[in-house]
Amino acid sequence: MRTFLFGFLLSIATNVVTGQSPQHKFIEVFGFGEKEIIADYLEMSVSISETDNLRKDSEFAQKEKMVLDALKNLGIASEDITVDNFNSYRFGLNNSSNRYLLSKTFLIKVRELKSIDDFFIRLYEAGAGHVQVTKRVKTDLEKHKTEAVKAAVENAKQRANEIASSLEIELGKASQVIELKEGEIDPFMDRIDRFYTKQSLSAVGAVHRGYTEPQTENLNVDIRKMNVTYRVAIRFEIISR
């Protein structure tokens, strides 16, 4: 069962705490573990929308075909494409207008990705209005979390031994282990949170960060990479001085 520290403990700046009681003397150290992994596939959403006219051929259907063709050319298998939602809205009072808005969102699984820049731009050129990476999936993630935990424990043990050596003391067994934090460091997902529409793209990769103007930066990195991290605090008994 996990034991969680209160907020004030997390605010301690030093990485080593020493203490003693009438019965026990101990040192407490913090350990950090990190494991880099590659996602098995990415989950992405691709949205299209168009205003059509009841008396004309559907421009929406043409745009949908172009986007699906682009996905096929990008190596996305048909079984990895599903429809998430499909909406329509007719303009005019009491549905009197011949104009109506259609929108559809596809969910896709991307198993191979050579260039994120090329992937996004080619979909926008085909007519997509919004493309977003929604999730990265690793089927054996728990195994890698366990490896990160082991690395954090080893890091704490190493630091404890270094401190013991410098203080010329001998350490006994670990008397307490506290899990401070687990998670996935995801520096790229903040950058790729949401792209502007095709009309807002300038150069390669305009990223929407809440600004009124599109920002440009190179997004051509391997976004399948994830760093699973773990932090622990371990208390070791001091058996001699």
Instruction: Name the residue ranges covered by the structural domains of the chain.
Output: 7-38+140-186+227-240, 41-137
For residue 221, the model assigns a pLDDT of: 61
Q: Please give the Cα distance from 123 to 73 (Å, whole number).
A: 10
Q: Please give the Cα distance from 47 to 218 (Å, whole number).
A: 23
Structural tokens at position 168: 């010329």
25 — pLDDT class (breaks 50, 70, 90): confident
Which of 111-120, 195-204, 211-220 has the weakest average pLDDT? Answer: 195-204
For residue 96, the model assigns a pLDDT of: 67
Q: Across the chain, which distance is largest between two alpha carbons, in Å?
A: 91
The CATH H-level superfamily of 41-137 is: Protein of unknown function (DUF541), domain 2 (3.30.70.2970)
What is the mean pLDDT of the segment spanning 194-223?
42
What is the mean pLDDT of the segment spanning 83-107?
82
Tally of CB atoms within 10 A around 84:
13
Q: Which residue type sits at 107?
A: L
Per DSSP, the residues of the chain read ------HHHHT---SEEEEE-SS-EEEEEEEEEEEEEE-SEEEEEEEEEEEEETTS--HHHHHHHHHHHHHHHTT--GGGEEEEEEEEEE-SGGG--SEEEEEEEEEEEE---S-HHHHHHHHHHHT-SEEEEEEEE-TTHHHHHHHHHHHHHHHHHHHHHHHHHHHT-EEEEEEEEEEEEEEEE-TTTTTTS-BPPGGG--SS-EE-SS-SS-EE----S-TTEEEEEEEEEEEEEEEE-
- What are the distances in angstroms from CA 145 to CA 34, 37, 139? 9, 10, 12
Does 84 have pLDDT greater than 70?
yes
Which of 10-14, 90-94, 102-106 has the weakest average pLDDT? Answer: 10-14
Does 4 have pLDDT greater than 50?
no
Q: Please give the Cα distance from 238 to 170 (Å, whole number).
A: 6
What CATH number was assigned to the domain covering residues 7-38+140-186+227-240? 3.30.110.170
For residue 89, the model assigns a pLDDT of: 79
Which of 13-22, 104-113, 114-123 has the weakest average pLDDT? Answer: 13-22
